[in-house]
Copies of this chain bind each other. A is one copy, B any other.
Amino acid sequence: MLRAMTASDSTSTTIRLRLLLGQDGTKLGPGKADLLQGIGELGSISAAGRRMGMSYRRAWALVEEMNAGFAAPLVASSRGGAAGGGARLTPEGAAVLARYRALEAEVANAGAEHIAAIAAMLRS
Q: Report which A residues bind B (CB closer than 8 A).
A: 12-24, 26, 28, 68-72, 92, 95-96, 99-100, 102-103, 106-107, 109-111, 114-115, 117-119, 121-124
Give which listed residue, B99, B114, B123, contacts A103 with CB less than 8 A: B114
* Protomer copies: 2
Query: Cα distance A71–B123 when bound, in Å?
Result: 4
Complex CA gap A92/B123 in Å reads: 12
Name the distance in Å between A5's Cβ and chain B's nearest Cβ.
11
| A80 → B minimal CB distance (Å) | 28
| Interface contact A14-B20, CB-CB below 8 Å | yes
Q: A99-B117, A121-B92, A123-B70 are in contact. Are A20 and B13 (CB under 8 A)?
A: yes
Q: Do A100 and B122 form a contact, CB below 8 Å, given A16-B17, A23-B12? A: no
Known: A22-B123, A24-B122. 16 other contacts (CB 8 A): A12-B21, A12-B22, A13-B22, A15-B17, A15-B20, A16-B20, A21-B118, A22-B119, A22-B122, A69-B122, A70-B121, A70-B122, A106-B114, A107-B107, A107-B111, A109-B110
Q: Could you tell me if B12 and A118 are in contact, using CB atoms closer than 8 angstroms?
A: no
